[in-house]
């Protein structure tokens, strides 16, 4: 029997993105404006709903840049 992979809320990428956004003291709208995407796309990413790879890249790039500045 093959082992199963269970994703919990704490291990999901979206949950980690939301925590990092909060740590940077950004609202979804602010992050969306900085990343050049819509607030709905940020919400979808945080909720692990489908978004394009380009949207994910833009959001992560912006969060990473802000994390490095701290």
Q: What is the mean pLDDT of each run of 10 residues along the chain (70 residues)?
A: 65 93 96 98 96 98 88
Q: Which has the closest alpha carbon to 62: 38, 23, 35?
A: 35
Question: What confidence score (pLDDT) does residue 8 get?
Answer: 65
Question: What confidence score (pLDDT) does residue 68 get?
Answer: 84
59, 13 Cβ separation under 8 angstroms: no
Q: How far apart are CA 21 and CA 27, in angstroms?
A: 7
Q: Which has the closest alpha carbon to 31: 47, 48, 18, 13?
A: 18
Question: What confidence score (pLDDT) does residue 11 get?
Answer: 78
Question: What confidence score (pLDDT) does residue 38 get?
Answer: 98
Question: What confidence score (pLDDT) does residue 67 get?
Answer: 85
41, 32 Cβ separation under 8 angstroms: yes
Q: How far apart are CA 24 and CA 18, in angstroms?
A: 10
């Amino acid at each position: 029997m093959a082992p199963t992979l269970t994703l919990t809320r704490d291990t999901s990428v979206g949950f980690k993105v939301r925590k990092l956004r909060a740590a940077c003291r950004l609202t979804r709208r602010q992050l969306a404006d900085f990343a050049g995407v819509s607030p709905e796309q940020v919400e979808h990413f945080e909720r692990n709903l489908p978004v394009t790879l380009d949207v994910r890249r833009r959001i992560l790039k912006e969060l990473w840049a802000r994390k490095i500045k701290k």
